[in-house]
Amino acid sequence: MQPTTHLELPPSLKVQGAYQPDWSLHFDDPGIAGTAFSFNGKQYTTEAYVPEFEPATITQVYLDLNKSWTRSAFDTVLASIPGQQVYAWIPETGLVAITNANKTQVFDACAGQQFSLFPFQLVKDKETSLLVSKSPATSPALSDLNDSPFSEQLRTYLSSPGKLRLFSVGDELSPYLKTLKECGAFRFEKGDLTTLTKRLRENLFIRDAIQPGLALIDPAGLLIRSSDTEKKAPAGQAPDHLLRLFAYRQIMQQMNGTLPGDYRYEDPAEADTLVQTAREANIVSPVSSLVVLENQEDYKRFDITQSINGLKDASLHSKGAVPEPGEWVLLIVVLAVFVFIVRRKDKSIRL
Domain of 140, CATH number, reads 3.40.50
Q: How many structural domains does the chain have?
A: 2
Whether residue 273 sits in one domain with residue 241: yes
State the DSSP string of 295-338.
SHHHHHHTT-PPPTTS-----TTSTT-PPPHHHHHHHHHHHHHH
| Whole-number Å distance between alpha carbons of 295 and 283 | 18
What are 249-308's pLDDT values in tens digits?
Answer: 887 777 666 666 655 555 555 556 677 777 777 777 666 655 444 455 655 554 555 554
Label residues 177-192 b or e (16+ Cβ within 10 Å = b): bebbbbbbbbbbbbbe
Rounded Cα distance, 346 and 351, in Å: 9
Question: Looking at the domain assignment, is residue 347 inside a domain?
Answer: no
Q: Does any domain span residue 133? A: yes
Pair 188, 242 in one domain: no
On whether both 217 and 106 belong to a single domain, the answer is no
- Is 147 a member of any domain? yes
Kind and range of the H or E run holding 271: helix 268-281
Give tens-digit pLDDT for 207-243.
Answer: 887 777 888 888 778 888 888 875 554 555 788 888 8
Same domain, yes or no, for 181 and 226?
Answer: no
Do 184 and 62 fall into the same domain?
A: yes
The DSSP call for residue 7 is -
Based on the domain organization, do 59 and 195 belong to the same domain?
yes
Show the domain range for 69: 53-206
90 and 235 in a single domain? The answer is no
